A = this chain, B = another copy of it.
Amino acid sequence: MKDIYPSRHAAMAEFSPRLDPVVHSEWNEAAPIGAQQAEQFERDGYLVLEDMFSDEEVAFLQAEAGKLLADPAALEAETVITEPGSREVRSIFAIHAQSRVLARLAADERLAGVARFLLGDEVYIHQSRLNYKPGFQGREFYWHSDFETWHVEDGMPRMRALSMSVLLAENTPHNGPLMLIPGSHRAFLTCVGATPEDHYRTSLKKQEYGVPDEDSLAELAHRHGIVAPTGKPGSVVIFDCNVMHGSNGNITPFPRANAFLVYNAVSNRLAAPFGVERPRPEFVATRGEPRAIAPISGLLLEEAPA
Protein backbone atom coordinates (compact mmCIF):
# COMPACT_ATOMS: atom_id res chain seq x y z
CA MET A 1 0.00 0.00 0.00
CA LYS A 2 1.36 3.40 -0.95
CA ASP A 3 2.43 5.52 2.03
CA ILE A 4 0.75 8.88 1.53
CA TYR A 5 1.89 10.17 4.93
CA PRO A 6 5.57 9.23 5.18
CA SER A 7 7.18 10.13 8.53
CA ARG A 8 10.41 9.35 10.40
CA HIS A 9 12.32 9.14 7.12
CA ALA A 10 13.77 12.59 6.53
CA ALA A 11 16.34 14.50 8.57
CA MET A 12 14.10 17.56 8.78
CA ALA A 13 10.52 17.79 10.01
CA GLU A 14 7.96 19.25 7.64
CA PHE A 15 4.28 20.00 7.35
CA SER A 16 2.67 18.07 4.52
CA PRO A 17 -0.93 18.51 3.37
CA ARG A 18 -3.75 16.54 4.90
CA LEU A 19 -5.22 14.41 2.12
CA ASP A 20 -8.35 13.30 3.96
CA PRO A 21 -11.53 15.05 5.08
CA VAL A 22 -12.05 15.84 8.76
CA VAL A 23 -15.81 15.34 8.77
CA HIS A 24 -16.54 12.46 6.41
CA SER A 25 -20.35 12.90 6.17
CA GLU A 26 -22.58 15.64 4.82
CA TRP A 27 -24.45 17.16 7.70
CA ASN A 28 -28.27 16.80 7.64
CA GLU A 29 -31.13 17.09 10.08
CA ALA A 30 -30.78 13.46 11.12
CA ALA A 31 -27.15 13.90 12.21
CA PRO A 32 -26.41 13.16 15.89
CA ILE A 33 -24.69 16.53 16.37
CA GLY A 34 -25.66 20.04 15.28
CA ALA A 35 -24.43 21.73 12.11
CA GLN A 36 -22.35 24.16 14.18
CA GLN A 37 -20.80 21.34 16.12
CA ALA A 38 -19.83 19.59 12.88
CA GLU A 39 -18.33 22.85 11.61
CA GLN A 40 -16.41 23.34 14.82
CA PHE A 41 -14.98 19.82 14.64
CA GLU A 42 -13.97 20.44 11.02
CA ARG A 43 -12.31 23.76 11.87
CA ASP A 44 -10.75 23.06 15.28
CA GLY A 45 -10.28 19.30 15.21
CA TYR A 46 -12.07 18.83 18.52
CA LEU A 47 -15.47 19.16 20.12
CA VAL A 48 -16.74 19.00 23.70
CA LEU A 49 -20.12 17.40 24.36
CA GLU A 50 -21.15 18.42 27.85
CA ASP A 51 -23.22 16.27 30.19
CA MET A 52 -23.50 13.35 27.77
CA PHE A 53 -23.86 10.90 30.62
CA SER A 54 -26.03 11.40 33.70
CA ASP A 55 -24.67 11.46 37.23
CA GLU A 56 -26.04 7.95 37.73
CA GLU A 57 -24.30 6.65 34.62
CA VAL A 58 -21.07 8.38 35.62
CA ALA A 59 -21.24 6.74 39.05
CA PHE A 60 -21.71 3.37 37.33
CA LEU A 61 -18.67 3.97 35.10
CA GLN A 62 -16.57 5.27 38.00
CA ALA A 63 -17.40 2.18 40.02
CA GLU A 64 -16.28 -0.02 37.14
CA ALA A 65 -13.06 2.00 36.72
CA GLY A 66 -12.45 1.66 40.45
CA LYS A 67 -12.82 -2.12 40.24
CA LEU A 68 -10.33 -2.35 37.38
CA LEU A 69 -7.78 -0.09 39.09
CA ALA A 70 -8.17 -1.91 42.39
CA ASP A 71 -7.32 -5.30 40.97
CA PRO A 72 -4.87 -4.95 38.08
CA ALA A 73 -3.73 -8.54 38.66
CA ALA A 74 -7.07 -9.68 37.24
CA LEU A 75 -6.22 -8.06 33.90
CA GLU A 76 -3.90 -9.07 31.09
CA ALA A 77 -0.53 -8.03 32.51
CA GLU A 78 0.70 -6.24 29.40
CA THR A 79 -2.37 -4.00 29.32
CA VAL A 80 -1.53 -2.38 32.66
CA ILE A 81 0.87 0.57 32.31
CA THR A 82 2.43 2.13 35.42
CA GLU A 83 3.89 5.61 35.95
CA PRO A 84 7.62 5.83 35.13
CA GLY A 85 9.58 4.99 38.28
CA SER A 86 6.47 3.96 40.18
CA ARG A 87 3.94 1.15 40.48
CA GLU A 88 1.03 3.56 40.27
CA VAL A 89 -1.26 2.61 37.37
CA ARG A 90 -1.31 5.19 34.58
CA SER A 91 -3.39 3.42 31.94
CA ILE A 92 -5.19 0.16 31.36
CA PHE A 93 -5.46 -0.76 27.69
CA ALA A 94 -8.04 -2.84 25.87
CA ILE A 95 -10.74 -2.01 28.39
CA HIS A 96 -13.48 -2.70 25.84
CA ALA A 97 -12.17 -6.27 25.63
CA GLN A 98 -11.72 -6.73 29.38
CA SER A 99 -14.81 -5.11 30.84
CA ARG A 100 -18.40 -5.61 29.72
CA VAL A 101 -19.34 -2.22 31.14
CA LEU A 102 -16.72 -0.49 29.03
CA ALA A 103 -17.67 -2.57 25.98
CA ARG A 104 -21.18 -1.28 26.51
CA LEU A 105 -19.82 2.28 26.78
CA ALA A 106 -17.92 1.88 23.50
CA ALA A 107 -21.12 0.74 21.79
CA ASP A 108 -23.27 3.48 23.34
CA GLU A 109 -25.20 5.27 20.61
CA ARG A 110 -24.27 8.66 22.07
CA LEU A 111 -20.63 7.89 21.26
CA ALA A 112 -20.66 5.34 18.46
CA GLY A 113 -23.42 7.22 16.63
CA VAL A 114 -21.36 10.42 16.59
CA ALA A 115 -18.27 8.46 15.51
CA ARG A 116 -20.20 6.88 12.62
CA PHE A 117 -21.40 10.29 11.50
CA LEU A 118 -18.00 12.03 11.71
CA LEU A 119 -16.16 9.15 10.06
CA GLY A 120 -18.87 8.50 7.46
CA ASP A 121 -18.69 4.75 7.86
CA GLU A 122 -19.28 1.92 10.24
CA VAL A 123 -16.74 2.02 13.05
CA TYR A 124 -14.79 -0.27 15.31
CA ILE A 125 -12.57 0.23 18.33
CA HIS A 126 -8.95 0.67 17.26
CA GLN A 127 -7.76 1.20 20.82
CA SER A 128 -9.32 1.75 24.22
CA ARG A 129 -7.95 2.59 27.59
CA LEU A 130 -8.73 3.84 31.00
CA ASN A 131 -6.42 6.74 31.80
CA TYR A 132 -5.72 7.59 35.34
CA LYS A 133 -3.50 10.54 36.21
CA PRO A 134 -3.09 10.26 39.95
CA GLY A 135 -3.00 13.32 42.16
CA PHE A 136 0.34 14.73 43.44
CA GLN A 137 2.54 12.85 40.99
CA GLY A 138 0.77 12.48 37.64
CA ARG A 139 3.31 12.93 34.88
CA GLU A 140 3.00 14.81 31.63
CA PHE A 141 2.20 13.36 28.19
CA TYR A 142 4.30 15.21 25.63
CA TRP A 143 2.79 16.63 22.43
CA HIS A 144 1.92 14.22 19.66
CA SER A 145 -0.42 13.47 16.80
CA ASP A 146 -1.96 10.07 17.40
CA PHE A 147 -2.21 9.43 13.69
CA GLU A 148 1.53 9.75 13.20
CA THR A 149 2.09 6.82 15.54
CA TRP A 150 -0.90 4.81 14.37
CA HIS A 151 0.26 5.19 10.77
CA VAL A 152 3.96 4.48 11.26
CA GLU A 153 3.75 1.83 13.96
CA ASP A 154 0.29 0.28 13.42
CA GLY A 155 -0.35 0.69 9.68
CA MET A 156 -3.44 2.92 9.80
CA PRO A 157 -3.66 4.07 6.17
CA ARG A 158 -5.70 7.28 6.28
CA MET A 159 -6.93 9.99 8.64
CA ARG A 160 -10.35 8.54 9.33
CA ALA A 161 -10.27 7.87 13.04
CA LEU A 162 -11.01 9.88 16.16
CA SER A 163 -10.73 9.68 19.92
CA MET A 164 -13.37 10.18 22.55
CA SER A 165 -12.40 10.93 26.12
CA VAL A 166 -15.25 10.29 28.51
CA LEU A 167 -14.45 12.29 31.64
CA LEU A 168 -14.77 10.28 34.85
CA ALA A 169 -13.32 13.02 37.08
CA GLU A 170 -13.52 16.76 36.68
CA ASN A 171 -11.01 18.25 34.28
CA THR A 172 -9.89 21.51 35.88
CA PRO A 173 -7.29 23.90 34.47
CA HIS A 174 -4.96 22.65 37.22
CA ASN A 175 -4.98 18.84 37.19
CA GLY A 176 -3.16 18.29 33.93
CA PRO A 177 -6.08 18.38 31.50
CA LEU A 178 -5.77 17.43 27.84
CA MET A 179 -4.32 20.37 25.87
CA LEU A 180 -4.98 20.68 22.16
CA ILE A 181 -3.72 22.95 19.40
CA PRO A 182 -6.95 23.68 17.52
CA GLY A 183 -6.47 23.63 13.75
CA SER A 184 -3.25 21.64 13.94
CA HIS A 185 -5.09 18.65 12.45
CA ARG A 186 -5.19 20.30 9.03
CA ALA A 187 -1.58 19.47 8.19
CA PHE A 188 0.54 16.40 8.81
CA LEU A 189 3.72 17.14 10.73
CA THR A 190 6.37 14.55 10.02
CA CYS A 191 8.72 13.42 12.76
CA VAL A 192 12.43 12.88 12.49
CA GLY A 193 14.37 9.66 13.06
CA ALA A 194 13.71 5.97 12.63
CA THR A 195 11.74 3.85 15.10
CA PRO A 196 13.35 1.06 17.10
CA GLU A 197 11.54 -2.27 17.11
CA ASP A 198 9.24 -2.89 20.08
CA HIS A 199 9.25 0.82 20.75
CA TYR A 200 5.75 0.55 22.22
CA ARG A 201 7.08 -1.04 25.41
CA THR A 202 8.63 2.24 26.50
CA SER A 203 6.52 4.66 24.48
CA LEU A 204 3.38 3.89 26.44
CA LYS A 205 5.16 5.30 29.47
CA LYS A 206 7.21 8.02 27.86
CA GLN A 207 7.42 8.85 24.18
CA GLU A 208 10.87 9.16 22.63
CA TYR A 209 10.31 8.52 18.91
CA GLY A 210 7.52 9.96 16.83
CA VAL A 211 7.98 13.15 18.81
CA PRO A 212 7.35 16.43 17.01
CA ASP A 213 10.24 18.90 16.92
CA GLU A 214 10.18 22.01 19.10
CA ASP A 215 10.34 24.51 16.25
CA SER A 216 7.27 23.08 14.56
CA LEU A 217 5.39 22.88 17.85
CA ALA A 218 6.23 26.49 18.60
CA GLU A 219 5.02 27.49 15.13
CA LEU A 220 1.73 25.63 15.63
CA ALA A 221 1.15 27.01 19.13
CA HIS A 222 1.92 30.58 18.12
CA ARG A 223 -0.34 30.34 15.09
CA HIS A 224 -3.29 28.52 16.65
CA GLY A 225 -2.95 28.89 20.41
CA ILE A 226 -3.56 26.16 22.95
CA VAL A 227 -6.86 25.13 24.50
CA ALA A 228 -7.50 22.86 27.46
CA PRO A 229 -11.19 21.97 27.58
CA THR A 230 -12.39 21.62 31.14
CA GLY A 231 -15.51 19.78 32.07
CA LYS A 232 -17.44 17.80 34.59
CA PRO A 233 -17.60 14.02 34.77
CA GLY A 234 -19.93 12.73 32.07
CA SER A 235 -18.72 15.20 29.46
CA VAL A 236 -17.01 13.89 26.35
CA VAL A 237 -14.08 15.43 24.49
CA ILE A 238 -13.89 14.24 20.87
CA PHE A 239 -10.78 14.90 18.83
CA ASP A 240 -9.47 14.14 15.41
CA CYS A 241 -6.70 11.56 15.02
CA ASN A 242 -4.25 14.17 13.72
CA VAL A 243 -4.73 17.04 16.15
CA MET A 244 -1.63 17.90 18.17
CA HIS A 245 -2.24 17.29 21.86
CA GLY A 246 -0.56 16.55 25.18
CA SER A 247 -0.93 17.28 28.87
CA ASN A 248 1.08 18.73 31.72
CA GLY A 249 1.74 16.88 34.95
CA ASN A 250 -0.54 17.06 37.95
CA ILE A 251 0.72 18.02 41.41
CA THR A 252 -2.79 18.79 42.65
CA PRO A 253 -4.54 16.32 44.95
CA PHE A 254 -7.24 15.90 42.30
CA PRO A 255 -6.76 12.83 40.10
CA ARG A 256 -7.77 12.97 36.48
CA ALA A 257 -9.53 9.93 35.08
CA ASN A 258 -11.14 9.22 31.76
CA ALA A 259 -12.24 6.36 29.58
CA PHE A 260 -10.60 6.73 26.23
CA LEU A 261 -12.00 5.20 23.07
CA VAL A 262 -10.51 5.37 19.59
CA TYR A 263 -12.96 4.74 16.77
CA ASN A 264 -11.66 3.91 13.32
CA ALA A 265 -13.67 3.63 10.11
CA VAL A 266 -14.13 0.03 9.05
CA SER A 267 -12.85 1.02 5.59
CA ASN A 268 -9.66 2.30 7.21
CA ARG A 269 -8.63 -0.99 8.82
CA LEU A 270 -4.97 -1.48 9.52
CA ALA A 271 -2.47 -2.52 6.86
CA ALA A 272 1.15 -3.46 7.48
CA PRO A 273 2.89 -0.70 9.49
CA PHE A 274 4.43 2.04 7.35
CA GLY A 275 7.57 2.50 9.44
CA VAL A 276 8.40 -0.65 11.36
CA GLU A 277 8.66 -4.34 10.54
CA ARG A 278 6.56 -5.74 13.33
CA PRO A 279 3.27 -4.08 14.24
CA ARG A 280 2.43 -3.21 17.82
CA PRO A 281 0.42 -5.83 19.69
CA GLU A 282 -3.33 -6.26 19.52
CA PHE A 283 -4.00 -4.60 22.88
CA VAL A 284 -2.83 -1.19 21.59
CA ALA A 285 -4.03 -1.55 17.98
CA THR A 286 -6.83 -3.85 16.89
CA ARG A 287 -5.80 -5.81 13.79
CA GLY A 288 -7.55 -8.28 11.51
CA GLU A 289 -11.15 -8.18 10.29
CA PRO A 290 -12.83 -5.28 12.08
CA ARG A 291 -15.96 -6.04 14.08
CA ALA A 292 -18.27 -3.14 13.30
CA ILE A 293 -20.03 -1.77 16.36
CA ALA A 294 -23.81 -2.09 16.52
CA PRO A 295 -24.78 1.01 18.51
CA ILE A 296 -26.84 0.42 21.66
CA SER A 297 -29.26 3.04 22.91
CA GLY A 298 -30.66 3.59 26.38
CA LEU A 299 -29.17 4.38 29.76
CA LEU A 300 -25.80 2.91 30.59
CA LEU A 301 -26.62 1.35 33.92
CA GLU A 302 -25.97 -2.31 33.45
CA GLU A 303 -23.52 -4.60 31.76
CA ALA A 304 -23.76 -5.37 28.09
CA PRO A 305 -25.40 -8.66 27.23
CA ALA A 306 -22.90 -11.47 26.76
Kindly state whether residue A217 has any CB partner on chain B within 8 Å.
yes
Contact with B along A91-115 (1 / 0, CB 8 A): 0000000000000000000000000
Contact with B along A133-157 (1 / 0, CB 8 A): 0011000101100000000000000
**Pairwise interchain contact B173-A221, C-beta atoms closer than 8 A:** no
**Pairwise interchain contact A143-B251, C-beta atoms closer than 8 A:** yes
Q: CA A228 – CA B247 in complex, angstroms? A: 17
Q: Identify whether the interface residues of A are mostly helix, strand, loop, or mixed.
A: loop
Q: Which of A57-93 contact B (CB under 8 A)?
A: none
Kindly state whether residue A174 has any CB partner on chain B within 8 Å.
yes
Residue among B136, B217, B248 making CB contact with A249, cutoff 8 Å: B248
Known: A135-B218, A136-B214, A217-B136. A173 touches B252 (CB 8 A): no
CB A86 to nearest CB in B, in angstroms, measures 14
Residues of B within 8 A of A218 (CB): 135, 253
Kindly state whether residue A250 has any CB partner on chain B within 8 Å.
yes
Kindly state whether residue A254 has any CB partner on chain B within 8 Å.
yes
Q: Which of A212-233 contact B (CB under 8 A)?
A: 214, 217-218, 221-222, 226, 228
Kindly state whether residue A32 has any CB partner on chain B within 8 Å.
no
Kindly state whether residue A176 has any CB partner on chain B within 8 Å.
yes
**Pairwise interchain contact B140-A228, C-beta atoms closer than 8 A:** no
Residue ID in chain B nearest A221 by CB atoms: B253
CB A205 to nearest CB in B, in angstroms, measures 16
With A136-B217, A179-B252, A247-B251 known, 10 other A-B pairs at CB within 8 A are A135-B214, A136-B214, A140-B249, A172-B226, A174-B226, A179-B251, A217-B253, A221-B252, A221-B254, A222-B253
